[in-house]
Amino acid sequence: MDSVVHFEVPYDDAERAHGFYREAFGWQLATMPGMGYTLATTTPTGEDGRPGEAGGINGGMLARQGVITAPVITIGVEDLDDSLARVEKLGGRVEIGRQPVGDMGFAAYVRDTEGNLIGLWQNA
């Protein structure tokens, strides 16, 4: 079973959004230089940076752009290419195909049959 492993929250004003989530929920935010992306730590993490509590997930924040106009959940998959093909076979569509994310893994974005944007993630 593939599970939710990440989320993304788009913003129009980074400083305003960062302040809101820090103050409202106590999130720890770390901007990734040169990437236009902010990591959001929402739950205690282990030494490997992964959530240390069962069911906990961390996420990120980025400028609202292109297809990313509302919060996105990201599902971890074993084989991204197989998952993309399965999504299309079931009536969904690929919005942003497979793309490397540093040396960590690969991401893609799809629309489900209800029009929701969903992220997919495969570890390297």
Residues 28 and 49: beta-carbon distance below 8 Å: no
Q: Could you tell me where in the chain the CATH 3.10.180.10 domains are found?
A: 1-62, 77-124
Across the strands, what pairs with 54?
none
Encode the chain (124 residues) as per-residue pLDDT tens digits: 999 999 999 999 999 999 999 999 999 999 999 889 999 999 988 887 788 888 889 999 999 999 999 999 999 999 999 999 999 999 999 999 999 998 999 999 999 999 999 999 999 9
DSSP the chain: ---EEEEEEEES-HHHHHHHHHHHH--EEEEETTTTEEEEE-S-B-TTSSBSSTT--EEEEEE-BTTB-S-EEEEE-S-HHHHHHHHHHTT-EEEEEEEEETTTEEEEEEE-TTS-EEEEEEE-
pTM above 0.75, yes or no: yes
CATH for 77-124 is: 3.10.180.10
Q: Which two tokens stand for residue 45?
A: 């993490």
Return d(Cα 6, Cα 72) in angstroms, integer.
Answer: 9
CA distances to 40, 41, 63, 64, 103 from 25, rounded to whole Å, are 11, 11, 20, 21, 30
Statement: 1-62 belongs to CATH 3.10.180.10: yes
